[in-house]
Structure 1
Amino acid sequence: MSWQAYVDDHLVATGKITKAAILGKQGGIWAASSGYNLAQKEQDAIVKTAFTQPDQLRANGITLNGFKFMTIRADDEEVAGRKGERGVFIIPTNQAILVAEYDAPTIAGDANVVVAKLADYLKSVNY
């Protein structure tokens, strides 16, 4: 299965995730939703800072595709952000980082289950 299929079929197709991307922990976008363009600075904030310097994200928020989220959780297992009715979950696996945004009427818990399930699967196959 291609990385794009994971974004399209396992995240966006659930109806709980509106936009998503899979980044490599070494950098680069492996796959992304159509029109979901993460600038290099945004990618670097995820890959280089999110899980090593979570205090920076807590203080400054996280910007994705030009939209700034307030960070509500940042630790070595997950970053969660929210602004208005939009939210994001960023979850690392062994070799990748999942970035998934959701919007109302989806609630945070429903979106988190979708992203966490894919992250668990990827970890189980050493990705």
Structure 2
Amino acid sequence: MSWQAYVDDHLIATGKISKAAIVGKQGGIWAQSAGYNLSQAEQDFITKTAFASPDDVRANGITLGGFKFMAIQANPDEVIGRKGERGVFIIPTTQAILIGEYEGTPAGDGNVVVSKLADYLKSVGY
């Protein structure tokens, strides 16, 4: 299965995630939903700062696709952001980082979708 299929079929197709990307821990976008553009600075923040310096995330929030989220939680296992009806779950796997934004759906539903894919990728070494 291609990385794009993971984004399209396992995140977006659920109807619980509105925008998504898979970013390599060493950098680079492996796959992303249509129209979801993460700047290089946003990618660098995710790969270099988000999990290494959770205090920075809590202090500064998370900007993705030009939209700034307030950090609700930041730890080595998960970063959660929210602003209004929009939210984001950022979960690292062995080799990648999953980013799933939701809008207008319950946060718990979005978390389950992203966490489930993260657990699967970890189980197969990714």
Give the partner amino acid of 1:119.
Answer: A
Give TM-score, length-normalised by structure 2. 1.00
Q: How far apart are the structure 1 equivalents of 2:109 and 2:62?
A: 21
What RMSD, in angstroms, separates the aligned Cα atoms of the two structures? 0.3
The 2-side partners of 1:124 and 1:82 are apart by 28
Determine the structure 2 residue equivalent to 1:47: 47
1:16 aligned counterpart, secondary structure: coil
Stretches of structure 1 that go unaligned for 5 or more consecutive residues are none
Amino acid at match of 2:16: K
Q: Which residue of 2 aligns with 1:4?
A: 4
Gaps of 5+ in 2: none
CA distance in 2, matches of 1:34, 1:11: 12
Give the share of equivalent positions with the same residue, in percent. 77
Q: 2: CA distance between counterparts of 1:18 and 1:54?
A: 25
Give the match for residue 35 of structure 1.
Answer: 35
**How many angstroms does 1:39 deviate by?**
0.1
C-alpha separation between the residues in 1 aligned to 2:84 and 2:39?
Answer: 22
Moved over 3 A (4+): none
Per the alignment, residue 95 of structure 1 pairs with 95
**Cross-structure match for 2:117:** 118
Size of the aligned set, in residue pairs, is 126
